[in-house]
Structure 1
Amino acid sequence: MLTIPGPDLPTFYQRYVQLLDSTNIGEELYNSIDIALTTLGNLKAAQVNYRYAEGKWTIGQVLAHLIETEWIMGYRALWISRQEGPELPGFDENLFAQQRGEDGRRLVRLVRELVQLRKSSIYLFDGLSVAQLNRTGSMDGKAVSVHQIGLIMAGHLLHHIHVLNERYLHS
């Protein structure tokens, strides 16, 4: 396990961070989107509605989840980096998916949106000082540093790309 400055990494997020090679946020955010694009670039438009089992998300829903999580985690990082404020709430990804429904976005749109959001996240973290990266806050009842959030974001994307490859694409 990588040594990351800040409070003990909450157990739930350890599975994401253990997929990374370093604690360099910029490198890991870049590397994870590059790895993701290798998989996503091979998808066909018709696959957007594919699910590997009943009750599981479609590929489009997985991408929408990645987009929503990128938004949420980026906001959390910005919030904590700027102030010590009230605890940030958690979110239920399944409830989000249920409320989102089948939004009809095409595969190319989902991939472009994810890439643009990741670029925005890279700019966000690149603009933070060491002091801001080391700030801690509470999200969903768990102490976490801004630095840790950046690594969680990189690992979260890799986790879901692995799931796509193993369960959806069998590669």
Structure 2
Amino acid sequence: MVERPTTEEYAAYYEGYIQLVPEGNIIERLELQANIIPTLLSSLTEEQANYRYAEGKWSVKEVIGHLLDNERIMSSRLLRIARGDQANHPGYDQDVLMQTHPFNTYTLADLSEEYAVTRRSTILMLRRLTPEAWLCQGIVSDNPASARSIAFVMAGHELHHCSVLRDRYSLDLKL
């Protein structure tokens, strides 16, 4: 089992996400999460999926799009660090990414499929990591980052946004 990362393995910014992840196997946690978003999307109408709880806030579809963007970026970072890449992996501006991609034009089925395929790809990659690879350290936005810390950040980031969907959008999510 991959142990929870120590605070020396990630930037303080990520502490909140990592603390959201329950104890246990991180791959199993990500597998459990893999069912939450597709189940949610299958229960929504297009109108519900385009809902914004306030002006200037993302729609439900955009929140899921943000999860997709984040998972792809974090998976890329994790892969490179696990394979020994010592480059400083840059941060990203989530708002810029959201401004330039029309997630609201996706059908619910397409968004669900893209989420499922993206998460499946992440899980397959993680299952193939060696114990040594999980402990590899690199740099993200000028801060230390281990491969395992990034996996925990991915899980915690999704838990955070699922809580927002439950609390701000009044969606029935079992976390």
Q: TM-score, normalised to structure 2's length?
A: 0.88
**Aligned residues: CA RMSD:** 2.0
1:53-64 matched pairs, under 5 angstroms: 53-64=54-65
Q: In 2, are the aligned partners of 1:22 and 1:28 still within 8 Å (CA)?
A: no
Check whether the contact 2:4–2:148 (CA below 8 A) recurs between aligned residues: no
Structure 1 residue 100: deviation in Å? Answer: 1.6
Asked if the contact 1:33–1:157 (Cα under 8 Å) also holds between the matched residues in 2, the reply is no
Deviation digits for residues 5-25 of structure 1 (CA, Å, limit 9, x no counterpart): 572432221211212112522
Query: What is the match of residue 42 of structure 1?
Result: 43
**Aligned residue number for residue 9 of structure 1:** 10
1:72 aligned partner, one-letter code: I
Q: Measured at CA, do residues 70 and 109 of structure 1 come closer, stay the same or move farther in structure 2, by a change above 3 Å?
A: same
- AA aligned to 2:135 is N
SS in 1 for 2:144: strand
Residue 70 (str. 1) matches residue 61 (str. 2)? no
CA contact (8 A) 2:134 2:147 kept: yes
Alpha carbons 2:77, 2:89 under 8 Å: kept: yes
TM-score by length of 1: 0.90
Maintained 8 Å contact 1:39/1:161: no
1:37–1:19 distance in 2 versus 1, CA, 3 Å? farther
5+ residue gaps, structure 1, are none
- Equivalenced residue count is 170
Alpha-carbon distance in structure 1 between the residues aligned to 2:57 and 2:68: 18
Identity across aligned pairs (percent)? 34
Structure 1 residue 117 corresponds to structure 2 residue 118: yes
